[in-house]
Amino acid sequence: MSRKPPPRRTAPSLAKNANPGRWEGKAKPDWLSRAIARAGVMPQDEAQEAIQAGRVTVNGRVVKQPLAPVPPGATVRVDGVALPTAAPTRVLAFHKPAELLTSTVGQHRVGTVYEVLLPQLPPDLARFTWHAVGRLDRGTTGLLLFTNDEKLVAHVTSPDTRLPKRYVATVFSEADEEKVEPLRQGLELEDGPVRPATVRLRDAHTVEVTVTEGRNHQVKRMLGAVGLPVRALHREAVGGVELDVAESGFRLLSDAEVTEGLRYPLPPAPG
């Protein structure tokens, strides 16, 4: 009998409904397929299949529901092999070409960044579930980070982290110091004031803009607001991580780049 695959991304509510308040004040449980993917054993869709095939146990009992909550401290085994307790945080720097959509995990459709990134990954990286760290518009090129650690996504994209993101925009009209000055002072956009940006004119049609937030279409809207509509946009750096791979290529960041470049503390390596 074929079993209908479970709906994706509904586990938090499932965990809540199963026993409201049960996890209050404690670490929240992960759900089974996600716990396996987070541990870097296999991607989440493969984990779902392994669970439904009866290959996974939690504390010694076979569990066939991919969305079953995994209590903190539980021992999960896949084909008899226990999950490593904590997956290492990994971050990839990808050079996004134009005309690819930054989709969310689970939407690895044709025309998305995943279509170009995933086939390149060696087996030791392909086993993780990769999340894009923020978004770039379809036409925007440049540095797009991916990670297996959702907390790192939240850290890098939070405006509170104030991690600088450096863009270079090619603009239709001629830019000059007077036109870009309001960007340095801090502009008011439809969704509220934006923080002052660091702006440098590289030439009359090329403007470097560094922002410490990441709102939708922020750089284009900022430049549009000062009469400099954007023809092309490219991201050169996120925090201390500079784009240094060829278009469509990727590389794995070192732990030092993650801790210093992205200001994200990592636990000390075991041993």
Nearer Cβ to ligand URA, position 233 or 258? 233
Q: Is 137 designated active site? A: yes
Residues 102 and 249: their CA atoms lie apart, in Å, by 15
Catalytic residue among 30, 79, 124, 137: 137
Q: How far is the CB of 169 from ligand URA (least distance, A)?
A: 8
Considering only the C-alpha atoms of the chain, give the largest distance between any 2 of them, rounded to a whole number of Å: 70
Question: Contact, 241 vs 93, CB < 8 A?
Answer: yes
**Residues at the site binding ligand URA, with contacts judged by CB under 6 A:** 136-137, 140, 217-220, 233
For residues 118 and 126, is the Cβ–Cβ distance under 8 A?
yes
**Closest distance to ligand URA from the beta carbon of 250 (Å):** 18
Comparison of 59 and 107: residue with beta carbon closer to ligand URA? 107
Nearer to ligand URA, 35 or 145 (CB): 145
Lookup result for tokens 């803009």:
209
From the CB of 150, what's the least distance to ligand URA, in Å? 21
Residue by residue, what is the 3-state secondary structure of 34-63? HHHHHCCCCCHHHHHHHHHCCCEEECCEEC
**What residues are annotated to the active site?**
137
